Structure 1
Amino acid sequence: MGEAPSLYDGSSERRAPADQATVRRTNLGLVLRHLRDHGPRSRARIAQETGLNKATVSSLVAELADRRLVTTGEVDRAGSVGRPGLTVHLDGGCVCGIGVELNVDYAAVLVLDLRGEVLFEKRLALDLPALGAERTLDAVAVLVSDAVAAAAATGARPAGLTVAVAGLVRSVDGVVTLAPNIGWHDVAVLDGLHARLGTDFPIRVENDANLSAIAEWAMGSEARTPDLVYLTGEVGVGGGVIVAGRLLRGAGGLSGEVGHTSLGDPDLVCGCGRRGCWETVVGMAALLRAAADPGDPVGDPARDLEARLSEVAARAEDGDARTLAALHQVGASLGTGAAVLINLFNPRVVILGGYFAVLGRFLMDPLMAELEVRVLGPGVAGARVVLSTLGFSAAVRGGAHVALESVFDDPTLVPVPSLEPAGAGAP
């Protein structure tokens, strides 16, 4: 198993020498992660598998239980030596992570508890380019408030919020420097949401493809694959790349803008203002342009995205020649670009997300035909191409997962109930 990808890998931050409190926080996180990644275990098994001594594990488990992060359950008889002990389970119903995604024609929110179970999920059909940044952030603030209230009803308080945006994001200060498909330039999302929400939990802003790749690594059908490429399928196209279990961010944190590589039609103008970008021939706008006339309901951004794609799939299944031709062309063009990524990164798996996953059964044959011709290594260099099982929730799941990482890094962020200030509770 690889190490979990971090949004801040490669940081040059100087770390202070570890004192006793730091070592204990680290060990609390070690036990909590071990339960998340391997499932319920007795204290003895945790000690054996982590290398910590039994007395230390017992003390750590007791503190995690005080913080309502673990509970004990049935007797663990698997691999036990001597008297079997009670299993320790990840609990975490008292804390949650919130993920939000902003895309061209929708905004979505999802809340996960510490076990990765969904507490709340909602998606709104919104025309973000028409709304503009300020009204979009107003709508997002309402979505987040609904999510916080739903979590509070279950007894969970947010550990953090991560916002996914389809565009170039400066994560250090939460500014979307350029999101051409929604018309944003230098939008201070972090400051805007802090001002609207007035919350005390951390807020981060990140590229949607990066968060989707993290979600696939953490909880998708190819979870823990150390080398993978994730491709978004939206109006725009982005890529998240994980190499040796680490998210590839690039020198300035702006890697993954594969939709703007020069693999498209030079006669077509991209939303970024340039010609010939890959997303002009594989993005959802390209598919709908080829498959339907202007004014067709499948192109209406006010309609739910999945309902529109279901209509496209129904037309293809009915044998509509125009729809099938459009899907074949997108699949072939998708294969052209995917071949470049396979030749560059040699991943074990390429995961197709977003609308690529929804319509993947129509795209896969022409895509694989292109890969067979264009990938240098035999058998497409050992790469598999799979459809995401997370659908359009990948980015929000990745965002919620990242928000919860702070708890796994330092479980003492979750207070012991008896030590909470009077009147404290879920916001």
Structure 2
Amino acid sequence: MRSAKLSLVLRQLRDHGPRSRARLAAELGMTRSAASALVAELAELGLVRAAGIERGGVGRPGTSVELDGSAVCGIGAEINVNHVAAIALDLAGNVVAEHRLPLDAHRVAVDEVLDRLVELIERTEADVRARGGHVVGATVGVAGLLDRTREMLTVAPNLRWRDVPVGAELRGRLGAAYPISIDNEGNLAAIAEATPGDPNRQDILVIFGEVGVGGGIIAGGRLLRGHQGYAGEFGHMIVDQGGRRCGCGRVGCWETVSGLRALLDAAADPDDPMRDPAMSLDDRLVELNRRADLGDMRTIAALDSVGGWVGVGAAMLTNALNPAAIVLSGYFAEIGQRMRPAIEEHLLGGVVAPQAAGTRVEISTLGFTAAVRGGAAVALEAVFDDPTIVASPPAALMGGAR
């Protein structure tokens, strides 16, 4: 019961910002003395701190409190076609450590990809410890269909992986006691975009683009996983029946016309330096933007064409789900402003309801970090569920398991 009340206070501060003890008591339906005692306990755990004087209320102004937790971190990590990455966020969402390694994952053995990812997780955790903090858990996002019960990556067309027991493999490397969980990267990106307490971000679709295209559905502030957990595989909607064969084996999937590969094919010849696999993803996107800035007609036409296909798929999703916003993440976030006119044109033309049913097109500010940030946020949920766990950091996360 005590942990549940501490959780209520901590979540209220996360979702609604700094509050006085009196205001917390009123909002949570408890006495002021009870709220004060809970705040004092959270302060002892290092999870909240004083945040100045709260003014504008009835009666005497009180001292407000806010999330602290600067020494408590969650790690988010990711396996994608072009890279592996890891990030540590503290309880307030601040970046404490971050590492990313370019990697042509579909050309490298599975074991090597997992080894590189574990190295990044360990480096990130070491950075946190060097700053006097500790990690409460880690969540890894993978690009493909995931059986969460078995933590098995069942099908990953762009990675060219099938039936890889990612959870077991990572625990074998990190230690069986390491508190790690596995999820789909699109789901994690959606979680990162669903800002707690922001009413405009409680019913959204997140479209996460790289070589493949996926995403997540947030309904009423919660991630919608579907019956078997496979919701959000937007990239495999059939939109072009006479089109290209997809990595999944079918023809005309949305990602064949809206993924990064489609954009590069339209914008550059095979011998163009931008098509060199050695060129990093970030550098490719910088070059695309540079050419568009210079008025290169082929680049502009490619952006318009791919943006139009993004709009076609967005309209299909809007007709089915009517989100408040469609958030463009991943590579779309880096060049989405240039695609936006074409996306919005096809969204308006393809949605049956007037004015695209009120659905907005938004560009993520998180870009390629969305999935790892979402992973870190999921790992930190353990603290919001039971703040007392920070009193005894897991030995496995303090170097005891390795």
TM superposition score normalised by structure 2 = 0.94
Match of 1:76 among 34, 39, 54: 54
Residue 298 of structure 1 and its aligned partner are, at CA, apart by 2.1
2:84 maps to 1:89:
no
2:320 maps to 1:320:
no
Alignment of 1:15-414 (within 5 A): 23-82=1-60, 84-198=61-175, 200-218=177-195, 225-264=201-240, 266-414=242-390
Secondary structure (helix, strand or coil) at the match of 2:226 reads: coil
Secondary structure (helix, strand or coil) at the match of 2:240 reads: coil
Compared CA separation, residues 196 and 425, structure 1 to 2 (3 A): closer
* Residue pair 1:265, 1:280 contacting (<8 A) in 2 also: no
Paired with 1:143 and 1:100, the residues of 2 have a C-alpha distance of 8
Deviates more, 1:406-415 or 1:238-247: 238-247
Residue 239 of structure 1 and its aligned partner are, at CA, apart by 2.2
Compared CA separation, residues 424 and 141, structure 1 to 2 (3 A): closer
Question: What's the CA shift string for 1:348-385, capped at 9, x where partnerless?
Answer: 11111111121112211122221222110111111111
2:395 maps to 1:415:
no
Residue 64 of structure 1 and its aligned partner are, at CA, apart by 1.2
Residue 40 of structure 1 and its aligned partner are, at CA, apart by 2.1
Deviates more, 1:37-46 or 1:206-215: 37-46
Secondary structure (helix, strand or coil) at the match of 1:172 reads: coil
Paired with 1:296 and 1:142, the residues of 2 have a C-alpha distance of 33
Paired with 1:388 and 1:219, the residues of 2 have a C-alpha distance of 16
What corresponds to 1:15 in structure 2? none
Secondary structure (helix, strand or coil) at the match of 1:269 reads: coil
Paired with 1:119 and 1:224, the residues of 2 have a C-alpha distance of 27
Paired with 1:162 and 1:398, the residues of 2 have a C-alpha distance of 9
Question: What's the CA shift string for 1:78-134, capped at 9, x where partnerless?
Answer: 41524x433222110221011111111111111100010000112111000011211
RMSD (Å), alpha carbons: 2.0
Secondary structure (helix, strand or coil) at the match of 1:262 reads: coil
Compared CA separation, residues 319 and 74, structure 1 to 2 (3 A): closer
* Residue pair 1:93, 1:155 contacting (<8 A) in 2 also: no
Compared CA separation, residues 287 and 57, structure 1 to 2 (3 A): same
Paired with 1:214 and 1:198, the residues of 2 have a C-alpha distance of 27
TM superposition score normalised by structure 1 = 0.89
* Residue pair 1:315, 1:323 contacting (<8 A) in 2 also: yes
Q: Post-superposition, which runs of at least 4 consecutive aligned residues in structure 1 deviate over 4 A?
A: none
Paired with 2:30 and 2:275, the residues of 1 have a C-alpha distance of 57
AA partner of residue 324 (structure 1): I
Residue 42 of structure 1 and its aligned partner are, at CA, apart by 2.0
Secondary structure (helix, strand or coil) at the match of 1:218 reads: coil
Compared CA separation, residues 191 and 385, structure 1 to 2 (3 A): same
Compared CA separation, residues 424 and 340, structure 1 to 2 (3 A): closer
Paired with 1:45 and 1:88, the residues of 2 have a C-alpha distance of 10
Paired with 1:369 and 1:73, the residues of 2 have a C-alpha distance of 46
* Residue pair 1:155, 1:426 contacting (<8 A) in 2 also: no
Question: What's the CA shift string for 1:188-215, capped at 9, x where partnerless?
Answer: 1111111112274421111111111110
Paired with 2:277 and 2:196, the residues of 1 have a C-alpha distance of 29
Compared CA separation, residues 342 and 70, structure 1 to 2 (3 A): same
Secondary structure (helix, strand or coil) at the match of 1:232 reads: strand
* Residue pair 1:224, 1:245 contacting (<8 A) in 2 also: no
AA partner of residue 71 (structure 1): R
Compared CA separation, residues 301 and 405, structure 1 to 2 (3 A): farther
AA partner of residue 160 (structure 1): G
Unaligned runs of 5+ in 2: none
* Residue pair 2:178, 2:396 contacting (<8 A) in 1 also: no
> Percentage identity across aligned positions?
50
